[in-house]
Structure 1
Amino acid sequence: MTPLPSRWLLGSWLLAIMAAGMPPVAEAASGVTIRVLLTAEASQVEVQAEGALLVSGADGRERHLPSPVMVTAGNTGLLLSGAASSSDRLTVHGGRTGLVVGLVQTTAAAGKAPAGSHAGVGTLTKWTLSGGLQVIQHGRQLMVVNDVDLEDYTKGVVPGEVSAGWHSEVLKAQAVAARTYALYQRTMSAGRDYDVVAGVQDQVYQGRQGVDERILRAVEETKGLAVGFQGRPIYAAFSSTAAGPTEDALNVWSKDLPYLRGVDCPFDMKSPYYRWRVAVPIDKLERALRQQGIGVGVVATVTPFGYSRAGRVTRIRILHSGGELLLRGEDLRKIVGYSILPSARFEVEAVGADVVFNGFGAGHGVGLCQWGAKEMAELGYSFSTILSYYYPGTDLMRVDQLDLSPQIPSNQS
């Protein structure tokens, strides 16, 4: 692989971006609502607020109910604190202080609960939320969706994705990326009851948890700003640590987007995820494959079978007693667990009782590198420069200047 350039060689190019300026920040709130899926697998939902709750059903009829209200699935519709209703869908609003929502999961629902909680069968998770709440009955399970203003949504994402103690320009860059990602998904969500999932499937959203003065300032100072390409919000992908060039979206999701093509990233060597070593028990790998419906025998070898330009495994070859299996590198991460196999940039050191991986970086490596952005901010670069570097060819635009009309989603594999 070609050696990475010195960070200083990029300086003149980055300074040129800084000189280009950026549009004025919008003074008013966006007025755009984001529908955030908290879970699709709840057995009961408890909603509390200061004062009465305003509840409306599918027919739009409103009524005030004393707090708290317990929502469960009934035979002919939702039950509100045990009282039958004829609606399988309701909306709940509280006062200015928002809602406190407790969810009991029916099945394991990792990634759909606030950071620090552990969602699983019978587990109660609590959220403190701005905006309103939709509860939608599907059989005996409840889908729970937070309808929240775009700016409040952004405040709930930034502390879930980066440390509030990081440089203010990183927090601003993350705020703009989070806002942009939500807008993009909103344009792609026609036919769904939600726009984004409150977890690693999309962005880690925590409601009001972890929102401190630094987070508020970063969101306020970038209010109404998003990253655009040809007048539309971009697919503002980001990940923790590139540990080398960022990746082309085409190699990860089969999405050929000009602003998501790899760039050199010599800025993230201080990341704790820059280099790692993981041993995965061979029997655990076999079980994980079978749980995904992939029939394998006893695994004998695991060998990278192709690499991207950025050095990530595009395909991996698994020889087993039943034959040969070829998987995408990202699919192997998904099967084994993203937290176990941090990235697809790895070599296989050994295969015995364990498969030992030596790797670099964390995440898919597409778009903004969070640890790289941290270093760039500490070197004096602005949030707008950071965004322009990791999303080349894009523009920083006001939300009200973007085309937010629905699009037909392309297949993402």
Structure 2
Amino acid sequence: MNEPYVSVGILSGKSIKFSLSGIYSTDDVRVVAGEQIVTLSDSGMSILWNGSLYSSIEFRPTSYDGDTFELNDVVNGVDFHWQRAEKQRFKGVLRFIVSNGRLTAINSIKVEDYLVSVISSEMSPDSSLPFLRAHAIISRSWLLAQIKHDKRPGRDTFRNDNKEIIRWWDHEDHSDYDVCADDHCQRYQGVQRIKGSVASGAVEDTSGMVLMADGMLCDTRFSKCCGGVFEEFESCWDDEHHSYLIARRDNINSDRFPDLTDESEARKWILSKPKSFCDTSDDQILSQVLNSYDRERKDFYRWTEIISQEKLVTLLRERSNINVGNIINMIPVQRGTSGRIVRLHIIGTKGDIVIGKELMIRRTLSESHLLSSAFVVEKNFSDSEEIPSSFTLHGAGWGHGVGLCQIGAAVMGEKGYTYDEILRHYYPGASIVKLY
């Protein structure tokens, strides 16, 4: 197998400003360096560039390694608390298409070059080499699994029967390219994130290496902080079990943990602080995994959010079109293996509804996503009121908790674990295979 290319959706809009550094060519013209702009035609069906209309247009570099392009106003962390826009510079091919009445900028790039940017975007070049090597392998495995996987646009990822709203988001959302450049897939923030040779070395050291199980590429999910126990795949996405994405304790004694699908056990676990790899406040370790904007808060392992009654009613209506009056209670119906809530029963003065899965819950209860759905609910009352004035959520972890826990893996790397030991911890039963 030769090294493949990957197509990455970077940015969408009615118009997109970009600049070229080097000499690029399209099907009918050579384009020299300088600022450019593409806009949507009045009909909304074509791309207007340089006075001509195109159904799609591709800018190809004369020198793959020497020429680069820059896109304005690329948004990072869409809908999360760190959302912001910035200019980003990329290598490879730049293509524009029209999709759903908007322009989309797509970058085609070699997989290994893409991975160097991902590793640099997801974590610091000061991270330990075992951690970076482990992450290079899982980032490559996940990516190649997405490229290989059949896109199924008609797949049922949303169910609403007026009693339950169950929804999840996955890579099937991307039909025009392989992966996006944001946290929905993997952070890919261009060549300006690449500093020094450490990330490049970690990718080169593991070139072509992936995780496989049962003869197939592993769907190597990862998140920031599992909260102490790993979640299973089916709690967050399809009702499909993966043998290597199972519950384990994020500690030396990985097989010793309580049954967090049980409500009483989950409550005790979340309200306590059991020793885990990902329980750290060491800024040197956290800085390996978290960019400066990620570290605007440090309560990842255990956290607390207070939501007023008025705010909660507004969030339910605006985020998920739910109107059940004032909220009386929120009760977990189903928890996953990490204690994350898979189905949450919301009871109001005008009705009730069950929502899930975990990301739907996180999106509904916050303007920028809750850190995780592993939380317990405390009702707060003002004097003489029967309806809670606010709710306190005591939570654990950051992200979906499936697969590699980035903070936990960074701690393992600092403690001297090798990259293959880290991978065996988070993906038990998977094997490292060199594809190319």
Q: Return the alpha-carbon distance in structure 1 between the equivalents of residues 420 and 397 of structure 2.
A: 24
Q: Which of 237, 248, 270 is the equivalent residue of 2:280? A: 270
Partner residue in 1 for 2:30: 64
TM-aligned CA deviation for residue 296 of structure 1:
2.5
Q: Return the alpha-carbon distance in structure 2 between the equivalents of residues 32 and 311 of structure 1.
A: 38
Q: Aligned partner of 2:40: which letter?
A: A
Partner residue in 2 for 1:99: 68
> 2:73·2:87 contact (CA, 8 Å) conserved in 1?
no
Q: Aligned partner of 1:262: which letter?
A: A
Partner residue in 2 for 1:403: none
Partner residue in 2 for 1:323: 351
Q: Which of 14, 31, 35 is the equivalent residue of 2:3? A: 31
1:73 has 2:25 as partner: no
1:347 has 2:376 as partner: yes
TM-aligned CA deviation for residue 339 of structure 1:
5.0
1:282 has 2:315 as partner: no
Q: Which moved more, 1:234-243 or 1:184-193?
A: 184-193
Distance 1:372 1:349, change over 3 A: same
Q: Return the alpha-carbon distance in structure 2 between the equivalents of residues 171 and 104 of structure 1.
A: 29
Partner residue in 2 for 1:23: none
Partner residue in 1 for 2:15: 44
Aligned Cα RMSD in Å? 2.5
1:149 has 2:110 as partner: yes
Partner residue in 2 for 1:84: 52
Distance 1:139 1:342, change over 3 A: closer
Which ranges in structure 1 are unaligned for 5 or more consecutive residues? Answer: 1-25, 57-61, 120-124, 401-413
> 2:59·2:93 contact (CA, 8 Å) conserved in 1?
yes
Q: Which of 25, 34, 49 is the equivalent residue of 1:54? A: 25
Q: Aligned partner of 1:31: which letter?
A: E
Distance 1:112 1:328, change over 3 A: closer
> 2:76·2:83 contact (CA, 8 Å) conserved in 1?
no
Q: Return the alpha-carbon distance in structure 2 between the equivalents of residues 283 and 168 of structure 1.
A: 48
Residues 337-366 of structure 1, C-alpha deviations (whole Å, 9 max, x = no match) = 485521121111224433211111111111
In structure 2, the residue corresponding to 1:363 is in which secondary structure?
coil
> 2:94·2:108 contact (CA, 8 Å) conserved in 1?
yes
> 1:47·1:67 contact (CA, 8 Å) conserved in 2?
no
Q: Which of 211, 216, 221 is the equivalent residue of 1:227? A: 211
In structure 2, the residue corresponding to 1:285 is in which secondary structure?
helix
> 2:304·2:392 contact (CA, 8 Å) conserved in 1?
yes
What percent identity do the matched residue pairs reach?
Answer: 27
> 2:332·2:344 contact (CA, 8 Å) conserved in 1?
yes
Normalization by structure 2: what TM-score? 0.75
Matches within 5 A, 1:100-139: 100-103=69-72, 111=77, 118-119=84-85, 125-138=86-99
Normalization by structure 1: what TM-score? 0.79
Which ranges in structure 2 are unaligned for 5 or more consecutive residues? Answer: 153-174, 252-276, 282-297, 381-387
Q: Return the alpha-carbon distance in structure 1 between the equivalents of residues 363 and 3 of structure 2.
A: 36
Q: Return the alpha-carbon distance in structure 1 between the equivalents of residues 20 and 322 of structure 2.
A: 47
TM-aligned CA deviation for residue 379 of structure 1:
2.1
Matches within 5 A, 1:176-187: 176-187=137-148
TM-aligned CA deviation for residue 220 of structure 1:
1.4
Matches within 5 A, 1:188-267: 188=149, 190=151, 192-212=175-195, 213-253=197-237, 254-266=239-251, 267=277
Residues 199-218 of structure 1, C-alpha deviations (whole Å, 9 max, x = no match) = 11111111113212221121
Partner residue in 2 for 1:169: 130
Q: Aligned partner of 1:44: which letter?
A: S
Distance 1:35 1:377, change over 3 A: same
TM-aligned CA deviation for residue 172 of structure 1:
1.1
Partner residue in 2 for 1:305: 333
TM-aligned CA deviation for residue 52 of structure 1:
2.6
Q: Which moved more, 1:277-286 or 1:356-365?
A: 277-286
> 2:221·2:404 contact (CA, 8 Å) conserved in 1?
yes
1:396 has 2:380 as partner: no
Query: 4+ residue stretches of structure 1 with deviation over 6 A?
Result: none
